Structure 1
Amino acid sequence: MTTRVAANGIEIAYESFGSPEGRPLLLIMGLGAQLIQWDEALCELLVEQGHHVVRFDNRDTGLSTHLHDLGVPSAGAPAPYLLDDLADDTAALMDALGLPAAHVVGASMGGMVAQTLAIRHPGRVLTLTSIMSTPGPSVAPPTEAAAAVLTGRPPADRAAVLEQAVRTWSTIGSPGYELDREKIVARAGLAYDRCFDPAGTARQLAAIMASGDRTELLAGVRVPTLVLHGEADPLVPPAGGRATAAAIPGARLVTYPGMGHDLPPALWPAIVAEITKLTSA
């Protein structure tokens, strides 16, 4: 069941899995992606390993607050907000949930937010897992085809959204694993029905670009850190994962052949095992 709570002056929508007595594990999703992008079956695998899992919609996505009054960012104008604000949202969500600290997992932009949370609120992060992410937008630029996925004109209706979803994941997904078109279409439809807000995604993208490089600040992170990355990721190429691991003292880097900018179900057991090894140490 989705619940909304007040956090950092907005409302954040979240869902939880497993016993509250489990190890708290906070999942942060990427650019324009809703909490449903963390597959329920993946969440349940994490629960089986003793975690209490929380997934949530970042500001400007899903059922969380959308900052419509901030408009669509224009070239050269200041970003409406920064990744710092999304990290502060996350810390405030933890306050609302009564979590003094948690194991934090972020994917793509969510990895950037997780890194920022560890920098700004170090006492709130028990362990950090950064997946298919980077310390800064210029560290590992996307391929031309992958960049086009982010900058193309938003689709006009539900049918076009579903078609675009297939094109997007065909471009940035994992070439080493079969593309599940049926599942992609179903999830895209569910996401559209929950909320469709391209302007919100544009504001998040502006936050990424305006937040700059975290490499120097990540040198001060002292929590156990795991970096997971696909070796065939065209949106955030492997250099992003290598740079993240190099920036954080003691971080462990694990890469997966054939994995692109998604989480193929065939890799879930391996990914869950790596996260569990970190959170249970």
Structure 2
Amino acid sequence: MLPHCTPRPIHAPRRPWHLSHIATGLLLLGLLTACSARPFVLTARPEPDLAPWQEDVGHGKSGHAFRYMHLDAQTPGDTAFLFLHGGIFDHRLWYYMHPLAQHGALYALEFPNVHAFHDGGIESMGRIVDDFAALIPETHIYVVGVSAGAWAAVEWAITQRDKTVDGVVLASSVMFGANAKESRKRARMSRFAVGLTPPQLQHIVERRARRTTYTEAEGPLQQIDIFYTRPYPYYYQLFHQTHAQGDRRQNTDGIRCPLLVLHGDRDKVMPLDVARLTPAMFPNATRTDFQVVPGGNHDMIFGNGGDIARRIADFFFE
């Protein structure tokens, strides 16, 4: 045997490449290219005017400090809306939901960068929401989640003991276990993301945001006005909960109230055909409706905020 040479192992014949494998490879190559580019820079948190909302900091049951937006109900009562944002943006993505104040008080939680309840799974997000919910004096709650916030909304609603959940709204999201192909794609991306270094992961987030064509909202606040790169633990936790869930079906049987599912026909993050499967995953919901929002993208709750608020009000109160 020649020096420095080792026998080659014998492998079984390779299976032919599928187009999905090639697409995944190109996507990961693009992300690796992004990792070698210049460092991220959008780390300063913008502070635009949020009127008529007020932004505040309060402490949950555990003593953890939460940043959140709130707006009093036009007519005082015991009803409130709890809004849960998704991945890249924060709680200010709910800015254009303020018309719903005619039906109750409004609270929009900013998921913290770090929390003692972070343990890697989507269940932990429900516990974080429950920790924050101690700040809400109203007892009848409509919980509204977008993207990853929709998973947190379900986790909180099915375990809730201190509040009465009168309704659930899921926007721009698909449930875990709804579609095997979608679950595998999510798992590949999350495995890759959690293996990145902090600068690499944060840079990918910024690069993705810079390439996004933001929806022009009809009002004073635009998406670009609230974008910034959050600290690494926030994004790591976001991807790690997907990684931990894998292809396990999310527990949705405990939802026993009206359920509204909203999805835009231009959503390029969560596929519309998989989102259509969502209502069937909630067999115990007292009433369900699936609505396609024409022209709605993944962040339609911001760009199409007025329309989304009307759809929510019509479903629950008309």
Q: What is the TM-score of this pair, normalised by structure 1?
A: 0.73
- Spell out, residue by residue over 1:144-174, the C-alpha distance to the aligned partner (whole angstroms, 9 max, x if none): 9xx69x9593456xxx98765231x33xx67
Instruction: Please name the residue that 1:260 is paired with.
Output: 297
Quick one: structure 1 residues 231 and 223, their matched pair in 2 at CA, closer, same or farther if it must change by over 3 Å? same
Pick one of 129, 133, 155 that aligns with 1:94: 133
| Aligned counterpart, 2:272 | 238
**Is residue 199 of structure 2 the alignment partner of residue 165 of structure 1?**
no
Deviations 1:16-72 (A, max 9, x none): 112382530000001243112222xx132222x323110011132xxxxx25x99xx
Contact 2:177 / 2:248 at 8 angstroms: preserved in 1?
A: no
Distance 1:96 1:116, change over 3 A: same
Q: 1:55 aligns with which of 91, 105, 108?
A: 108
Structure 1's 266 and 132: CA in aligned 2 closer, same or farther, altered over 3 A? closer
- Residue matched to 2:93: 37
Q: Report if aligned partners of 1:230, 1:257 keep a CA contact under 8 Å in 2.
A: yes
Are 2:261 and 1:207 aligned? no
Q: Greater Rg, structure 1 or structure 2? A: 2
What is the alpha-carbon distance in structure 2 between the residues aligned to residue 279 and residue 264 of structure 1? Answer: 17
Q: In proportion to residue count, which structure has more helix?
A: 1
Report which stretch shifted further, 90-99 or 210-219: 210-219
Aligned twin of 1:14: 68
Q: Identical aligned pairs, as a percentage?
A: 18
Q: Retained in 2: the 8 A contact 1:165–1:184? A: no
Question: For residue 183 of structure 1, what is the aligned residue in structure 2?
Answer: 222
Instruction: For residue 187 of structure 1, report the CA deviation from its aligned partner.
Output: 1.7
Structure 1: unaligned runs, 5 residues or longer: 61-65, 71-78
Q: Residue in 1 aligned with 2:313?
A: 276
Report if aligned partners of 1:132, 1:240 keep a CA contact under 8 Å in 2.
no
Q: Could you list the runs of 5+ residues in structure 2 that have no partner in the other structure?
A: 1-54
> For the Cα contact (< 8 Å) 1:32–1:200, is it kept in 2?
no
- How many residues are aligned here? 247
Q: Which deviates more from structure 2 when the two are superposed, residues 210-219 or residues 79-88?
A: 210-219
**Contact 2:201/2:235 (CA < 8 Å) preserved in 1?**
no
Structure 2 residue corresponding to 1:24, chosen from 71, 77, 80:
80
Shift of 1:6: 2.6
Please give the root-mean-square deviation of Cα atoms over the aligned residues, in Å. Answer: 3.6
1:164–1:183 distance in 2 versus 1, CA, 3 Å: farther
- Residue 253 of structure 2 is aligned to residue 219 of structure 1: yes
- The residue aligned with 1:130 is 170
TM-score, structure 2 as length reference = 0.65
